[in-house]
Amino acid sequence: MTRELPSIPPGIPEPGLYIVATPIGNLADITLRAIRVLETCTLIACEDTRVTGKLLKHLGIKARLQRLDDHAPPEVRARLIDQARSGAVALLSDAGTPLISDPGYRLVREARAAGVTVTSIPGACAAIAGIAIAGLPSDRFLFAGFLPVKDKARRETLEGLAEVAATLVFYETAPRITRSLLAIAELWPEREVAVARELTKLHEECRTGTAASLAAHYAAHPPKGEIVLLVGPPAEAEAPVADVDALLRAALDDAGPGKAAGQVAKATGIDRTVLYARALELKGE
Ligand code: SAM
C-alpha cells in the first residue's frame, strides 16, 4: 500500500535567510519544508554549485545559485544579506546541516547583525545521526568537528578533551580513522568507542568496541566512505560509589529523586538515569 505524503505547506517564504539542511547520503531525507523553500526562494547560496545542482536536478527544481564558501570575501556575504532583505535566500552546504563543520557562520552572524531574519529548515546531520545509533550516553555530548591531521596536534586536542564528562563526537575520514583510533587507544584504552560509517547510505554500519579493537579491525579492513567517530565519557567508576551516595543523600535532603539525580548528574557527569535509580534506592532504605 502506498502512503499519502503530507502536502507541502503552501506560500512563498518571507524575505530572509533560510539555513536549509540537505541529505547526507539518502536523497529521501530531504524535508517538505526544504523543498518548499528551494523551489520558491530567489537565490541559493551553496558551497559547490555542481553538488547543489545535482540535488536540485533530482528534485526537479530550477534555481539561481551563488557559490559561497568560508573564503568568500565580505562583499559576497554583504550582497547576499542585501538580497535577503527583499527575498528568500537559502544557504545550503554540500550535505547535511550548513554551519556544522561547513560554511555559513559568518553569513548567519552578519545577517542577524543586519536585522535580517534567519530561519532554520532542519534535517539531516551526520553528528546527530551518529549519536542516535551509537548506543553511547546521549544526554550530554560534545561535538568537536574534525580532529587535526598531524599526530602531535591530534594528541593535544584529545588531551584537552580528557576531562569532558560527555560523549565526544568527531568527524573523520576513512584514510585517517585507524590513526585516530590508535591515538584514542593510547589515551583512553578503557573507553567505549563507536565508528558510524556511511550513515543513511546502502552500506551504513555502526561498529562499537574499544579504540584498540576498532583500530585492529580497520587496519585489517580499510574502510571506505564517511565516518562519525564517537568516544564514550570517562568511566563512572572514576567517581567512588560512596562519594556519589553521599552527594545523592545530601541532594535528597531538600529535593525529590528526579531533581537530586539531576543535580548530581550535573556535578559529576554521571548518567542521570543511573543516578535516578540509585536515588530511588537510597530513598527507600
Ligand atoms: N554539515 C554536515 C553535517 O551536517 O553532518 C557535515 C559536513 S563535514 C564537511 C563532512 C563530514 O561529515 C564527513 O567527513 C564525515 O565525517 C561526516 N559525514 C557526512 N556524511 C556522513 C555520512 N553519511 N556518514 C557518516 N559520516 C558522515
What average pLDDT does this structure show over 171-180? 98
Residue 171 and residue 109 in one domain = no
Residue 164 and residue 101 in one domain = no
Atom of ligand 1 nearest to the CA of 96: 4
Atom of ligand 1 nearest to the CA of 97: 4
Q: What is the pLDDT of residues 118-132, one digit of tens each?
A: 999 999 999 999 999
How confident is residue 92, by pLDDT bands cut at 50, 70 and 90? very high
Q: What is the pLDDT of residues 112-167, one digit of tens each?
A: 999 999 999 999 999 999 999 999 999 999 999 999 999 999 999 999 999 999 99
Q: What is the pLDDT of residues 42-71, one digit of tens each?
A: 999 999 999 999 999 999 999 999 999 888
Q: Which residues contact 66 (CB under 8 A, 6 or more apart)?
A: 43, 44, 45, 46, 49, 76, 80
Pull the grid cell for residue 153.
596536534
Give 96's DSSP letter: B
Q: Provide the domain limits for residue 245.
A: 241-284
Which of these three, 190, 207, 231, is where a domain ends?
A: 231
Q: Total domain count for the chain?
A: 3
The number of helices, as runs of H, and strands, as runs of E, in the chain is 11, 10
pLDDT at 263 (0 to 100): 83
Residue 239, pLDDT above cutoff 60:
no
Residue 147 and residue 116 in one domain = no
CATH of the domain at 137: 3.30.950.10
CATH of the domain at 84: 3.40.1010.10
Pull the grid cell for residue 167.
560523549
Mean pLDDT of the chain: 92
Note whether residue 4 is domain-resident. Answer: no
Which of these three, 87, 105, 124, is where a domain ends?
A: 124
Ligand 1 mean position to 1 CA, how many Å?
A: 34
Residue 65 and residue 143 in one domain = no
Distances (CA, A) of 141 to 130, 131, 170, 228: 11, 8, 11, 13
pLDDT at 199 (0 to 100): 98
Residues with a CB atom less than 6 Å from ligand 1:
24-25, 93, 95-97, 100-102, 125-127, 171-173, 196-201, 226-228
Which of 38, 43, 40, 42 minimizes the C-alpha distance to 58?
38
Residue 143 and residue 203 in one domain = yes
Residue 202, pLDDT above cutoff 80:
yes
Which of these three, 90, 124, 158, is where a domain ends?
A: 124
Stronger pLDDT, 187 or 267, i.e. the higher one = 187
* SS3 assignment, position 185: helix
Which of 89, 121, 95, 117 minimizes the C-alpha distance to 9?
121
- The preferred substitution site among 228, 229, 230 for testing ligand 1, maximizing ligand atoms within 8 Å of CB, is 228
